[in-house]
Amino acid sequence: MSIRPPVWRTTYNQRLISVRFLLLSDIHANLDALEACLAAVPPCDVVANLGDIVGYGANPNEVIDKSRSMGKLFVRGNHDKACAGIADVRGFNQVAAAAVVWTHHTLTPDNLAWLKALPQGPLLLTPLDDVQIVHGSPRDEDEYLLVSDHAAVSAFNTDVSLTFFGHTHMQGGFFIANDKEQTFRPAYSSTDGDVRFEMQLEKDGKYLINPGSVGQPRDGDWRASFAVYDSDQHSVTFYRVRYDITRAQERIRAAGLPERLADRLTQGR
């Protein structure tokens, strides 16, 4: 992937805008999935990371090192908080809790300190003043936006018209305008191979968009997910890319992490 030096352009009203944001979420220490995504990404100006960088997968240090090298825009996820030791594992199932303990003890002191210091969302993608990133929802970093009712209620808690969120590991999102809510998912041309789907955004209304999970998709599709927002075109392109899932599973088993964490990658659940 190539991260271009940011090309800030001046619009007619003298506001600075960026061109392309790479949106990564829920990498969950899956280095093989992250590397496959980065190999498929078109040139981007800025990387925005929506949290849950670690937890579940076997390469937390490598994934943090890579993420840190790509940019500075991060919000923390619930697994980041737990692995950093600043939140307990209440609400985590046994498998997730085991991964938290393993990750906490595997992180280098430097990466642990970095993880602890990650900011809570929402975070505006400055200099854009109408686009933000969150982990869960605009009103609660730990809220799951699964159905349009949740999304609509949460959207009332923000004036920002475009929110990128993660947490659910489901690619797609919600559009709220004139008291109507719509749910959308990218319509890909194939269920295998590497695919992309471009969506032109409307000017009025609010969007809540999930780029999908890089490292542990749960929408029934095992391929790694990410999205690119083009602020100039006001469009979002969703991606699904294949990665070496066998290798990621071998690493999970070699680390002594629960077998379920390897299995679920194949199922995309």
Binding-site ranges for Zn ion (CB under 5 A): 26, 52
Residue nearer to Zn ion on the CB measure, 30 or 132: 30
User: Least separation, in Å, of the C-beta of 26 and Zn ion?
Assistant: 4
CB-wise, 45 or 77, nearer to Zn ion?
77
The answer to whether 133 and 23 are in contact (CB under 8 A) is: yes
Tokens 């991606």 — which residue?
239
CA gap 211, 26 in Å, rounded: 9
Nearest approach in angstroms of CB 215 to Zn ion is: 8
* Chain residue whose CB lies nearest Zn ion: 52
* Identity of the residue, 24 or 160, whose beta carbon is nearer to Zn ion in the bound complex: 24
Q: How far is the CB of 258 from Zn ion (least distance, A)?
A: 16
Residue with Cβ nearer Zn ion (18 or 210): 210
Q: Which is closer to Zn ion, CB of 20 or CB of 104?
A: 104
Residue 185 Cβ, how far from Zn ion at the closest point, in Å?
18
CB of 140 to Zn ion, least distance (A): 15
Strands annotated E in the chain: 9-10, 16-17, 20-24, 46-49, 73-74, 123-124, 131-133, 162-164, 172-177, 180-184, 195-200, 206-210, 224-230, 235-241
Burial class (CB in 10 A: 0-12, 13-18, 19+), 109: exposed
Closest CA to 25 of 184, 208, 260: 208
Is residue 234 within 8 A of residue 203, CB to CB? The reply is yes
